[in-house]
Chains A and B, each alone.
Chain A
Amino acid sequence: MAWQRETFKKIKQIPREEHVLPGTTLCAGCGGLEALRLAAKVLGDDVLYVNAAGCFTMLAAYPFTPFKGSWLYTTMGSAPAGAQGVRDALDVLIAKGRLSKEEDLKVVVLGGDGSTYDMALSSTSGAVARKLDFYYFCYDNEAYGNTGMQLSPATPYGARTVTSPCSLQHPAGATQEKKDIFELWRAHKPPYIATVAPRYPLDLEEKFARAAKFTGPKLFLALSACPTGWLYDPGETPEVAKLAVETGLWPLKEAINGDVTHTYIPKRKPVEEYLKLQGRFRHLFEPTVQTDVIAHIQSRVTTYWERVKQTEQGA
């Protein structure tokens, strides 16, 4: 049976109230902020954001914060451990009667892909294994964006970054495959994992609403199209996200206690349509078309979805 949204059926159910207010210095057209804003509409204001070093560090920069909730900047490698400390402290203080239950907060880690996929993997693994009751929100723009778009473990094969340039030796740019953080997370069997893309707002809202029912780690991987780093016009952020999903490159899915369901089955447009939009893939088309590289990207997507078909009967 196909996945059904239960809470968010119509776009006008998206809450009007804003929880991440304007005035931040994040780039115009930031796909990560777009996703966070939508997530916060479900998370509300009784939230403590535990931030890892990354683009979102600039959200709260003295003397301004965009949040009605709280914020703690930790380090690049240990935001989930910060969440552990806060969650444990809240539990202890509530248990001891020094804090009333009404004062409780949702603890939400914010980490970019650089932090999430590599440096904070140990602390994330630890927090999930300890069944920490928290949210993890990874804004994945597939490179170290805050430092100027260097290769990260989330950078996909064929993307050009400033540290994976297109060269004679490596005409494809990045030669690695994007690390499958979803599967790394899933190996820990947390109650809830989901991928989201802000161009699919009802899917995103629904997943945050569903996650709220689970106690324990709730991990989100948000496609964060990045005009600055992916080199496209900021107005095209939703279009890029849409093509990421419609080509099948960014599967929308969830895993409840390790069981995966794809929440949207794309008709799978050719990957070129997605790649062509972005300057970081321009070398695949100019001056000559690197058909082998594009074919490789396409074959990875095709293989992925064929496997999905086999494992998710009737999906």
Chain B
Amino acid sequence: MLAIRFHGRGGQGAKTASRIVGTAAFLEGFVAQDSPIYGAERRGAPVAAFTRIAKEQIRERGVIVHPDVVIVADASLISDPTARVFQGVDDRTVVFVNSSLSPQQVATQTSCSGRVTTLDLTEIALQRVGKRGALSALLGAVAGRLVGLHQESIRKAIAEELADLGLSPSVIERNQTVAAQCYETVQPVTIETGVPQPIVPVQLQAPIYEPPTRGTARISAAANSVLRETGGWRTFRPVLVPDKCNGCWLCFTYCPDGVISMSKDDRPVIDYDHCKGCQICVHECPTDALVAEREKEGEVAWRAK
């Protein structure tokens, strides 16, 4: 059995990618299983999806703990502790990262123990599809190539899954074309299905009673959401061109997340740890003093102040 785990951000298409691979495998006569994990499945929040492909009945469900292939739709997820991108990855795991960096650079920067391969799908999508966000067909094509599925079945699967989402034939066709390009471009890495890990019984530890201050879903801390950094959600960051700013406060006013504060001299100060990159401030700035810049690569680059 091959186990493929997809990591993405809500809206990037990780779930659909897992279905494209599942459908493609099914079309080729394999036994396939795919499923997403729903958490805070918001646009931008970390999500995961799983595809299993086998020749015989699959007797597993849900989360893939020991993946053969990991597909990372967004490099910023690597440094997000809640995403657990490298969980269960060992030296035989193939790790694809959507990144402009080389596999060696990514491996070094992230100290990933798997066999890394990369391709800048975001750039391809921006150039060829003209939109940030949905990468499902591209991710599906890359994953399909890595596990050895045929290009034609991927093509069919993309049509099925994207039609299911209600996309128009022209959009589907464009996705198929770009996906084919990704399929051919990605550096394949040989997958070694390793020896099964010996199963040892875990140590069970039954919790003991605690007073309900701790023993119920209660938060005593005030406004501790700031501990959760959402800066990694961005594909683009708003950047201030100070000379153009007229200090009008509109960016501060319209920011849904309250990540823009105004300095004493009425200049916006952007909290990049939390800015989700919605670009409302860029859209609403009357003097074009805020511009969108593509996020730079590398571990926690988005955190740069």
Tell me which of A21, A201, A235 contacts B253 (CB under 8 A): A201
Interface residues in B244-298 (C-beta closer than 8 Å to A): 248-250, 252-259, 261-262, 271, 273-274, 276-280, 282-284
* CB within 8 Å for A227 and B43 given contacts A16-B262, A22-B258, A25-B230: yes
Q: Does A314 sit within 8 A of B, measured CB to CB?
A: no
Contacts of B221 in A (CB 8 A): 63, 65
Tell me which of B225, B250, B276 contacts A64 (CB under 8 A): B225
**Is A66 a contact partner of B280 (Cβ separation < 8 A)?**
no
CB distance from B277 to the nearest CB of A (A): 6
CB distance from A59 to the nearest CB of B (A): 8
Contact with B along A231-254 (1 / 0, CB 8 A): 001111111000000000000000
Contacts of B250 in A (CB 8 A): 11
Contact with B along A4-21 (1 / 0, CB 8 A): 000000011010101011
Most buried by A among B45, B225, B279, B282: B225
Contacts of A18 in B (CB 8 A): 258, 261
Q: Does A24 sit within 8 A of B, measured CB to CB?
A: yes
Interface residues in A49-73 (C-beta closer than 8 Å to B): 58, 60-68, 71
Contacts of A33 in B (CB 8 A): 256-257
Known contacts A18-B258, A23-B225, then 6 further A-B pairs from the complex at CB < 8 Å, ordered by chain A residue: A11-B253, A24-B225, A25-B230, A62-B219, A68-B222, A227-B43
Q: Does B217 sit within 8 A of A, measured CB to CB?
A: yes
Contacts of A227 in B (CB 8 A): 43, 278
* CB within 8 Å for A238 and B228 given contacts A22-B274, A65-B219: no
Q: Is the interface of B mostly helix, strand, loop or mixed?
A: loop
Contacts of A66 in B (CB 8 A): 223, 225
Contacts of A62 in B (CB 8 A): 217, 219
Q: Does B22 sit within 8 A of A, measured CB to CB?
A: no
Contact with A along B44-85 (1 / 0, CB 8 A): 110000000000000000000000000000000000000000
Q: Does A172 sit within 8 A of B, measured CB to CB?
A: no
Q: Does A165 sit within 8 A of B, measured CB to CB?
A: yes
Q: Which residues of A pack against B, CB within 8 Å?
A: 11-12, 14, 16, 18, 20-31, 33-34, 37-38, 58, 60-68, 71, 165, 198-199, 201, 227-228, 233-239, 286
Q: Does B200 sit within 8 A of A, measured CB to CB?
A: no
What band does the interface of chain B fall in when counting residues whose beta carbon is under 8 Å from A? Answer: 35 or more
* CB within 8 Å for A22 and B259 given contacts A38-B253, A199-B254, A235-B278: yes
Contacts of A201 in B (CB 8 A): 253-254
Nearest 4 Cβ contacts at the A-B interface:
A235-B279, A23-B225, A29-B278, A22-B274
**Is A34 a contact partner of B254 (Cβ separation < 8 A)?**
yes
List 16 contacting pairs A-B, 8 Å CB cutoff, sorted by A: A11-B249, A14-B253, A21-B226, A22-B226, A22-B258, A25-B44, A28-B256, A28-B278, A29-B279, A37-B256, A60-B219, A62-B219, A65-B221, A68-B222, A228-B11, A234-B278
Tell me which of B42, B226, B271 contacts A228 (CB under 8 A): B42
CA distance A33 to B250 in the complex (A): 16
**Is B256 a contact partner of A239 (Cβ separation < 8 A)?**
no
CA distance A228 to B41 in the complex (A): 11
**Is A58 a contact partner of B224 (Cβ separation < 8 A)?**
no
CA distance A67 to B273 in the complex (A): 18
Contacts of B274 in A (CB 8 A): 22-23
With CB as the reference atom, state the residue of chain A lying closest to B43: A27
Q: Does B152 sit within 8 A of A, measured CB to CB?
A: no
Q: Does B183 sit within 8 A of A, measured CB to CB?
A: no
CA distance A9 to B3 in the complex (A): 60
With CB as the reference atom, state the residue of chain A lying closest to B224: A64
**Is B223 a contact partner of A21 (Cβ separation < 8 A)?**
yes
CA distance A20 to B224 in the complex (A): 10
Contacts of A25 in B (CB 8 A): 40, 42, 44-45, 228, 230
CB distance from A94 to the nearest CB of B (A): 22
Tell me which of A22, A60, A234 contacts B230 (CB under 8 A): A22
CA distance A24 to B166 in the complex (A): 29
CA distance A35 to B282 in the complex (A): 19
CA distance A46 to B282 in the complex (A): 33
Q: Does B91 sit within 8 A of A, measured CB to CB?
A: no
Q: Does B302 sit within 8 A of A, measured CB to CB?
A: no
Contact with A along B177-192 (1 / 0, CB 8 A): 0000000000000000
Contacts of B257 in A (CB 8 A): 22, 24, 26, 33, 37
Contacts of B253 in A (CB 8 A): 11, 14, 38, 201
CA distance A314 to B284 in the complex (A): 33
CB distance from B250 to the nearest CB of A (A): 7
Contacts of B217 in A (CB 8 A): 62
* CB within 8 Å for A23 and B230 given contacts A34-B254, A67-B223, A234-B278: yes
Contacts of A21 in B (CB 8 A): 223, 225-226, 258
Contacts of B262 in A (CB 8 A): 16
CB distance from A48 to the nearest CB of B (A): 13
Contact with A along B189-226 (1 / 0, CB 8 A): 00000000000000000000000000001010111111
